[in-house]
Structures are given as structure tokens and as C-alpha cells.
Amino acid sequence: MKHRRIPRRRAALAGAGVAALVAAGVTFQSANASEAPATPAPRTLSATAAGQLAHTLLGDLGADAAGTYYDARAKSLVVNVLDDSAARTVEQAGAKARVVENSLAELKGARTTLTAHAAVPGTSWATDPTTNKVVVTADRTVSEAEWAKLTKVVDGLGAKAELKRTAGEYKPFLAGGDAISGGGGRCSLGFNVTKGGQPYFLTAGHCTEAISTWSDSSGTVVGQNETSAFPDNDYGLVKYTADVAHPSEVNLYNGSAQAISGAAEATVGMKVTRSGSTTQVHDGTVTGLDATVNYGNGDIVNGLIQTDVCAEPGDSGRSLFSGSSAVGLTSGGSGDCTSGGETFFQPVTEALSATGTQIG
């Protein structure tokens, strides 16, 4: 077969046309790519704003959400989700999505199993959204036999739980914020609040279970118990009976005070500060939510905020705050402020709701 030769000029033109079409195709595809909706960058948020966004997204996502935490370095909210559809909802709202294996329902089921089969004094468990697990911790009082029992239960939960040991001992920090005392010991005043226009203050429930009439550091009687919730919860409400100052602030023990203008939900990763009459002011981070602590003698408290902030006896009831927002009331924990430790707090928002009070 005889091939017809294409003149060099026509071949060059044909090549140029193909090149033009290729270039046009590339340009067209690039234009289409630029028009595709881009994933929005996570919004820069304060810890309090992240907590508010987390509350909204958890409500919107329902069963598709698997927990949240605050990335303090990036100043963004991270939301655990179960699928890509939920991830897109999270990203459009300005948070960072993270697809994980365990749903909140599965983690709640793990906690139910622990409650039924691992109720050992000297233990705690809390949901950790950064690992997407329930973290079970045993203190130094847990025996080898009890440890073996815990290991069996946790192993049966597979990837939903993990077990670890702490060198300290879990106990309420009752002894002695501003110190307040009575016949049963010494605690710390948490937050001044109001109810029906009258002044009250919040402290720990294990304090109001032990003490009914409260005096200040000079011995003046300043308050009488109105509400006490312990165990299960750990908050108490005391009505002022003396004409004393009750500002909405926290003593920083350096001649100044932090004004408190409202309350905020805790978020894992939130930077927090604790003030207490024994150890004064210490900072730390929220490490877990919905924590259960078994202090022994049947004293099991649920729904606590877990932190790496230290505390010691006498700090019970005192303030956990983030900026001008009240966050928690000191319940108990392990360790001390020399060697370090962990402390659990009653959420202030729950205490305010249950007692019908408000910050002010």
C-alpha cells in the first residue's frame, strides 16, 4: 500500500492544532477543578467557642458523632465522626473532621459493661475522644486480683477500652479558694451564685454531706446548707447567712482575682486553671469527660471532668475555670502538687441547672 506523504507545513499545522487542543483540554479541566467546592479551613476558635460549636454539632449529627476535642495548638475543634457524609457537615461548620471506629453509643455500652462488671474501689474511667476509647485507670490500692478482674473485662471490650495504672490513690480532697470550714473538716468555696436575687455559693457535695454550717477563715459563720448531692454527683449549695462580700470572682492568691461572668461546658483539650485554699493556683488541661470515679465505701461519682491539674486535701469544692468562665468544682483525684497527679471536677453547668442558680 502506498502512503501519501503529508507536506511538512501541513504536518506542522496539524501538530500545532493537536497541541492547542491538548492545551485547551488541560485548561478546561483545570478550570473545572478550581470550581469544585474546596474543603473550608477549620475556624480559629477559643476553647469556650469550640465548646459551644461542639454542643451544636453533636446535636446536629446525632448518632453520626463520636466525640469532640479542642486542638489548643491549632485553636480548632476536632469532631470524631463515623462516615464521610458527617465529615462534610463538620467541615462546612468550620471544625476539623476525624473518621473513627467507635461510636458514642459503643463507648457508652463499654461504660455500661464496666459499671456492671468492674466496680472496683480505686478506679476511674473516662471517655477520651483523642483515642476514641474509654480509658480505665486503677490506683495503687487496687490489688493484683482486682487488676486481673479489670484486665479481663477491658480485654473483652477490644478496641473500645484500655487499662492503665496510676501511682496515686483516688480520694476526695476534703480537709481545706477561700477556705470555708465546719465541724466536719475544711473545704474551699467554689463560685458565688444567686438564686431569686439572694446570694449563695457552690462547693463540693462531699463537703456539704460532712458540714452543714460554714465559717470563714476568721471563724465567722457565713452560710447554711441548702442542697447537697453526693455520691453520684458532687455539688452542694450553701445560702449566705451573714452580710459578707460575695463577688463573682476567683482569688488568684497574688493580690488579684479573676472575674467570673458565666459558665462553660468543658471540652477535652481546654486549658483550665484551678484555685484552692491549700495549693492556691495551678494550670492544666481537660483530658476526659463523663468520668466515673470510685472513691471506695460506696462513694461512686459519675459525669465528672477529668484533668491533669494537681490538687490536695482542702482544695475540695474550689473553682476550675477557663478565662472568665466557670467550668468545674473540685471533687477529688490522686497525687499532689509536688509529684503531680490528676483531679476530677463536678461540671458547674450541671450544678447550676440542678440548683436553679446562676453565676453572678
pLDDT tens by residue, 332-344: 999 999 988 899 9
Report the pLDDT averaged over residues 59-85: 96
* pLDDT, position 211: 87
pLDDT of residue 174: 67
The secondary structure of residue 143, as a DSSP letter, is -
Mean pLDDT on 93-120? 96
pLDDT in tens, 313-329: 878 888 999 999 999 99
The C-alpha R_g of the chain, in whole angstroms, comes to 28
- DSSP H helical ranges for 204-292: 205-210
H or E element: which one contains 329?
strand 325-336
- Is residue 185's pLDDT more than 80? no
Average pLDDT, the chain: 88
Reported as a pLDDT band with limits 50, 70 and 90, residue 66 is very high
Predicted pLDDT of residue 27: 37
The string over 279-289, giving b where at least 16 C-beta atoms fall within 10 Å of a residue's C-beta and e elsewhere, is bbebebebbbb
Q: Answer whether the bond into residue 7 is a cis peptide, omega within 30°.
A: no
Q: pTM for this structure?
A: 0.85
Distance CA 229, CA 332 (A): 15
Quote the pLDDT of residue 312.
Answer: 87
Across 232-243, average pLDDT: 97
Cβ atoms < 10 Å from Cβ of 55: 13
Nearest to 139 by CA among 175, 107, 163, 111: 163
Measured from the Cβ of residue 87, the count of other Cβ atoms closer than 10 Å reads 20
Q: Catalytic annotation on 139? A: no
User: HSE (CB half, 13 Å, CA atoms) of 179?
Assistant: 17
In angstroms, the CA 85 to CA 159 distance is: 24
pLDDT digits (tens, 9 = 90+) for 137-154: 999 999 999 999 999 999
Q: Which of 76, 206, 290, 331 is catalytic?
A: 206
**pLDDT confidence bin for 360, thresholds 50/70/90:** confident
Residue ranges of domains in the chain, CATH in brackets? 47-99 (no CATH), 104-165 (3.30.70), 171-359 (2.40.10.10)
What pLDDT, on a 0 to 100 scale, did the predictor assign at position 8? 43
Q: Which of 234, 290, 299, 315 is catalytic?
A: 234
Choice among 76, 124, 228, 316 that is catalytic: 316
pLDDT tens-digit series, residues 9-60: 444 434 444 333 333 343 334 344 445 456 788 999 999 899 999 999 999 9
DSSP 278: T
Whether 308 is a known active-site residue: answer no
Residues 264-291: pLDDT tens digits?
999 999 999 999 878 899 999 999 999 9
